[in-house]
Structure 1
Amino acid sequence: MSNSEPYLVPTADVIFEEEIKKSRFITYLAHTPNIEAAKQFVQQIKERHHDARHNCWAFVAGRPTDSMKWGFSDDGEPSGTAGKPILAQLTGSGVGEITAVVTRYYGGIRLGTGGLVKAYGGGVQQALTRLETKQKVITSELQLSCEYNQVSLVESLLSEYNGTQLHADYGNQVTMQIELDSRIVDEFCAKLTNRSGGRIVAASAS
C-alpha cells in the first residue's frame, strides 16, 4: 500500500467490558491521529483506573502499515501476554490512528499465559467488531502561479478533480495554494500544464 492510498480510521470511541474468572477486563478504543495523542489517551485511562492492577495498551498511531508508529506495553503482566496480543488485533484490523487500552481488575484467579493472551486479544477483537470507521483520504498541497485570465481554467480543473483552493494572493500574478487527493496529483499537474500550453506549473507546497 503506497502512502497516497486511503485507509480506515475510527469515528467514535468504543468500550467493551467482560469478566473472565473473576477478573474484570475493560477495553477502550479511541481515534489517536499521532503518537502524542496515543500516549495522552493511555495516560487518561490510567488516571481513570489508577486503582486497577494493570492498564495494558497498544497503538497504531498512523497508517496501519507504518510499524514506526506502533507501540505496546504489558504494564506488569508477563512479557508478551498483553501488549503484543492487543497490537496484533489492531494491526490485523487494517484500521489506522487507533489506540487500545485494556484495564484489568484482578479477581484472584490466575489465568496463565495462554489465558492472558486470549483475554487481552479477545477483548480487543470484540471491541473492534463494534468500531465505526471512515476512510481517510490522503491529500497533497500544491502551489501555482497564473495570469488573471487563467484563473477560470485553474478553477475549472480543480472542480473536475474535486480539489480545494486553500488560499490565493492577487499581485502581478495570481498565486494559489490548492489541495488534492494525492493519488491524482500527477494527472492533475499534467492536465494543467497541457491546458495552459505549458504556462502554468503546479509544484508541491511543502
Structure 2
Amino acid sequence: MMFTLIRTERFEQDIKKSRFLAQAAPAGSEEEARRFIAASSMPDAGHNCWALRVGDVYRFSDDGEPGGTAGRPILQAIEGQGMDRVAVVVSRWFGGILLGAGGLVRAYGGTAASCLKAAEREPIVAYATLSVACGFAEEARIRSSLGSFPGTRVETTGFTADGVRLLVTLPQDRSDAFVRLVTDISRGQAVVERGGE
C-alpha cells in the first residue's frame, strides 16, 4: 500500500557544519509538486535539491551538487518510505567541510528520509465507479447494504421504466464483492457496468 502526506513537514539537521533543511508536502499533480518546490527553495541556500513522485511521474534535481548525490537519494527516500503524490526539497548551506560523494548521498537521502518518517501520512486508496441499473424494490436493499462498504458514495443518476440508475463509487479492492452483493440482492436482474478506476 502506498501513502501520501497529510500536511507539509519540515526536518533540519547539521552534518559536519553544513545545515540541511528538508521540506516535504503532498502533491496531487506534477504542477502542484513543482509549485511547492519553487515556493520552498531557500534563496540563501547553496543548493536546493529536490525530488517528486506523483504516480508514474518522478523527477529530481541535484541543483549543482555532483550528479547522483542529491536528487536521486531524495527520490529513493520517497520510494523507501512507500510514498506517492509527494514532493521533497532539501536545502543545504555549506559549512566549509567537504562531504564527498558518499557523504552527500547519505546527507541528502537521510535528511529526506527523516523528514518523511516524522510526517503524518495516510494511505492512498484507489476508487472504482460502478453504474447500477436495478428495480425500485432492490434499490433500498442495495443502499442499506452499503454500510458494509466503508468509504462508498452513491447517487441516483436517473430512472428507467422499471427502476433506477445509481452511480456508486467505492474502494477498488471492494468492487468485486459489491458486484456479487448486487447480483445476489437482485437475483441477477440488476445490470452493473464498471466505469473509471
Same fold (TM over 0.5): yes
Contact kept in structure 2, 1:163 and 1:178, CA below 8 Å: no
The match for 1:15 is 10
Deviations 1:68-107 (A, max 9, x none): 3222110111001101111111111112222211011223
Deviation, 1:20, is 2.4
Contact kept in structure 2, 1:165 and 1:176, CA below 8 Å: no
Contact kept in structure 2, 1:165 and 1:179, CA below 8 Å: yes
Deviations 1:157-204 (A, max 9, x none): 322333634321343331111111211211211221232122102212
The match for 1:52 is 45
Count of residues in Structure 1 that have an aligned counterpart in Structure 2? 194
- Paired letter, 1:8: F
Rounded Cα–Cα distance in structure 2 between residues aligned with 1:34 and 1:178: 25
The match for 1:193 is 183
The match for 1:160 is 148
Alpha-carbon RMSD across the aligned residues, in angstroms, is 1.9
- Which ranges of structure 1 fall in alignment gaps of 5 or more residues? 1-5, 63-67
Rounded Cα–Cα distance in structure 1 between residues aligned with 2:151 and 2:81: 30
Deviations 1:6-53 (A, max 9, x none): 43221222111122233221111111122222112111112xx12322
Contact kept in structure 1, 2:4 and 2:86, CA below 8 Å: yes
The match for 2:57 is 69
Q: Percent identity?
A: 36
Deviations 1:128-163 (A, max 9, x none): 231211223222111112222221122123223336
SS at match of 1:202: strand
**2:165 pairs with 1:175:** yes
Closer, same or farther: CA 21–165 of 1 in aligned 2, 3 Å: closer
Rounded Cα–Cα distance in structure 2 between residues aligned with 1:52 and 1:161: 49
2:26 to 28, 31, 36: 31
Closer, same or farther: CA 69–148 of 1 in aligned 2, 3 Å: same
The match for 1:65 is none
The match for 2:104 is 116
When the two structures are superposed, what TM-score results if normalisation uses the length of structure 2? 0.88
**2:141 pairs with 1:146:** no
Closer, same or farther: CA 125–163 of 1 in aligned 2, 3 Å: closer
- Which ranges of structure 2 fall in alignment gaps of 5 or more residues? none
- Paired letter, 2:179: C
